Structure 1
Amino acid sequence: MKKLTPVLYVDAIEPCLPFWVDRLGFTKTVEVPHENAIGFVILARDGLELMYQTWASAAADLAGATQRTQGRSAALYIEVANLDQVERALRGADVVHPRRKAFYGATEIFVREPGGHVVGFAQTG
């Protein structure tokens, strides 16, 4: 195995982009249209990669696979070097769990990105 890249399925990609690009400094490396909107996008920063695909694009592209993913959920957990900096960038985001010190030693904060997925940011050490 070489790499694991999460794909988040959403109704619309456009509302999610400012969260990753403007707030957190990710770059769009791939953008694929579907109908009159963005259907698929790859975002990258510092060796991290994240993909978004709309449900409509996935249904056209993957057919039966999307029926099994609807109603399922996953959260992202990203280790960062400077949680203070990330927390400043997240001001105004939907915080689902405020900054805390976890029992396993990480200091972390959890937010909900505009597509509805929970994203945790953690600093260790």
Structure 2
Amino acid sequence: MAIVDYIYYVGEYGGNTVPEEEFSKSEKKAEAYLKNITHGKLTAENVSEYENVKDCICEMAETVFQYSHEKKEKKSESIDGYSVSYVTETTDGDNSVAVMKRKLYSIARYWLLNTGLLYLGVE
């Protein structure tokens, strides 16, 4: 069962980026990534102990949705030799998935840094 539903996303979080028919898929991916980076510390049973988890997943779901429906923006275009360049966040050797994962981790740090969920050490 999903931690966040569309009603929470729109009503409590105030989201409007992800359409209802796409929300479940984006939320599922965001939740899976968050569970991976918390190394099992986040479970369905303890999610209510952390007030920012739902908002974190909402923001992550928006990012997942944006990357899966990415429209490329032209950076430059040359007509005679027909050359088109697009705006990109990737660097050499990177791909859009790597950039998305960095953004998702950054979102998780913003919302959950002081919860202990991201701590990898021994307690």
Q: Fold match, TM over 0.5?
A: no
Greater helix proportion = 2
Radius of gyration: which is bigger? 2
TM-score (norm 2): 0.27
Greater strand proportion = 1
TM-score (norm 1): 0.27
> Which structure is higher in RCO with an 8 Å CA cutoff and minimum separation 6?
2
